[in-house]
Structure 1
């Protein structure tokens, strides 16, 4: 409740004597102007906070808060390493994956893509993708040489689920005829649309084992994505990771 003194001052200057009617009008216009200004500021701040939250949800829905790399070589025994990292307080889960660049091609149409190889179960648990499948079924992912791509990428090269596409690795293979580009056919299992141009136009997901075969990485990965419970503690987790050699 507003104290008496504050109420007295407010009504004293909002009201006016009969001879000073204009002052009351000016005071009320000033009050309305201030109220509208504050309301506009609150609305804009709410919209921006909502936009920030939505943007973070979409970005972190496909990327971890921290990504662990080994500068010297691919990561061996990644499952055990993921378990050890997962024991750090504040760590929610750890995702082993293979990241690499390739060319996707069909009927002479080709474009560059960013390949991510994930375990099929982890892929199905990525809600940002599983809840935004527009064509196809994610449950078929992992049953064979499958690939899941973004809608803008699918529209660009003109493919739908069931179509066969060629993935061409930038790393060549040595054959009897010399160095040849590494090419493998994959079936489009599903198409997702997360609403962010970068992801919908460049990302392609493979089952982890298929990605290992495609990049000839053996039983290794080249990245571990770490998701933490509270993003505000990302620096604490990062420092813990840097202090431990595992």
Structure 2
């Protein structure tokens, strides 16, 4: 009751009440800022993981000892291993893509329709066109940012140039082909939408020379005068792929799954690289950034806690006579400490609860708020070219919110101990000497 009276302002105590209100606002701002920033960073990491692991496998398997010609059998064997969701194979190469007066380097992946359907993130992201009759279309699929860079749209021709072309007496000549754009997709990640191009598997195998011509079994030496038709009939084409990607049920269980994949007797020898190895530097930097941001933003709450100390010290000075009267009436030092501890802690509790509500509301509407501010000010906030994603993600972690609340309440309570102890040390005789 006494602590509550001290929190309510009277005319002559208005200044102390204003200081307490500002302190409460400081705690609320600190808690809200910490919740919003951590939620955005969690959403950023989760969205990147979803995009990266939705398109790239948890393991990438490269062939050793011999060319990857038995890819269908290998994929079927890998998908039978416990813990493997599915696997896909592909042909990959780097080329120069040209459109209407603009060129850029891209990564081309050749995949058939059966494998594309397994990549739901890519398969469902087609904004224009579709994947119907993909294997026989002899066209390409590109991201919408790449389409903007090249200045092409659905049905336009894209020219791709591979420096590793046919050998001539004068050296290697570039291999140039043109393909129509059959699909334009939007994955929501700048890197994939700007630098990836997909084409059907067989045209990709032909373009990147991922095949070899061998004599059919039982065929003897060919007649030197054999016609082209006879030569073509005598040889058969054996296709290859560049690598395979393996998707597992638990992306964090890469160590155990690596041992399981490498020790399985039904699969051929493969070199495996997991997603943590490929993105180790990137996600380590994200983790360090999260820790640093949490530490720095916690200082806002710490500053607000110091404000609690200053406001309580002013309140103790102002209430010195009240403290003396209470002591002469029989109040113990512990009772005086409790009064001022409750006063300061109440400021922290109200500020923390206000900050939690405000932080959760802002975190839940991070992208609409970003878009509104960007449109109002005419300034690009969190541009996708820098932050990889086309929208501002947010994912609130209840555990982190609980940690922030506990931190704010703990600092608020600790901030009350010294002023409350000083109040309990007041000598009633000295306090009332000049009253």
TM-score, length-scaled by structure 2:
0.49
Shift of 1:42: 2.5
Q: How does 1:195-234 map to 2 (within 5 A)?
A: 195-218=188-211, 219-234=239-254
Q: Which residue of 2 aligns with 1:239?
A: 259
Q: 1:207 Cα shift?
A: 1.0
Q: Is the 8 A contact 1:13 1:24 kept in 2?
A: no
Q: Does 1:83 align with 2:69?
A: no
Instruction: Rate the CA distance shift 1:35–1:154 in 2: closer, same or farther, 3 A.
Output: closer
Is 1:16–2:6 an aligned residue pair?
yes
Judging by fraction of residues, say which structure has more strand.
1
Q: Which residue of 2 aligns with 1:184?
A: 177
Moved more, 100-109 or 21-30: 21-30
Q: Check conservation: 2:185, 2:193, Cα contact below 8 A.
A: yes
Counterpart check, 1:74 vs 2:67: yes
Contact in 1 for aligned 2:166/2:175 (Cα 8 Å): yes
Instruction: Output the CA distance in 1 between the equivalents of 2:98 and 2:42.
Output: 40
Counting only pairs closer than 5 Å after superposition, residues 103-118 of structure 1 correspond to structure 2 as 103-106=96-99, 109-118=102-111
Equivalent residue of 2:63, what SS?
coil
Deviations 1:133-171 (A, max 9, x none): 232223242223111011122122221221222222221
Give the number of aligned pairs: 236
Q: Partners in 2 of 1:65 and 1:27 — Cα distance?
A: 53
CA drift of 1:195 comes to: 2.3
> What does residue 44 of structure 1 align with?
37
Q: Following the alignment from structure 1 to structure 2, what is the Cα–Cα distance between the partners of residues 133 and 242?
A: 35
Q: Is the 8 A contact 2:163 2:173 kept in 1?
A: no
1:57-108 per-position Cα deviation (integer Å, ceiling 9, x unaligned)? 1112211111111255531211111122222222111011111111223456
Match of 1:157 among 150, 156, 161: 150
SS at match of 1:142: helix
Higher mean alpha-carbon deviation, 91-100 vs 12-21, is at: 12-21
1: CA distance, partners of 2:163 / 2:207: 11
Structure 2 unaligned spans of 5+: 212-238, 268-435
Counterpart-to-counterpart distance in 2, 1:109 and 1:44: 39
Q: C-alpha separation between the residues in 1 aligned to 2:76 and 2:193? A: 31
| TM-score calculated relative to the size of structure 1 | 0.81
Query: What secondary structure is seen at the aligned counterpart in 1 of 2:88?
Result: strand
CA deviation after TM superposition for structure 1 residue 182, in Å: 2.1
Greater helix share, structure number: 2
Rounded Cα–Cα distance in structure 1 between residues aligned with 2:56 and 2:193 = 14
CA distance in structure 2 between the aligned counterparts of 1:12 and 1:44, rounded to whole angstroms: 38
Larger Rg belongs to? 2
- Name segments (4+ residues, structure 1) moved above 6 Å: 17-20, 22-25
1:130 matched to 2:123: yes
Give me the CA root mean square deviation. 2.9
Contact kept, 8 Å, 1:141 with 1:148, in 2: the verdict is no
Asked if 2 retains the 8 angstrom alpha-carbon contact of 1:97 and 1:117, the reply is yes
Residues 14 and 143 (structure 1 numbering): CA distance in 2 closer, same or farther, change over 3 Å? farther
Q: CA deviation at 1:30?
A: 4.5
Which position in structure 2 is the counterpart of 1:94?
87
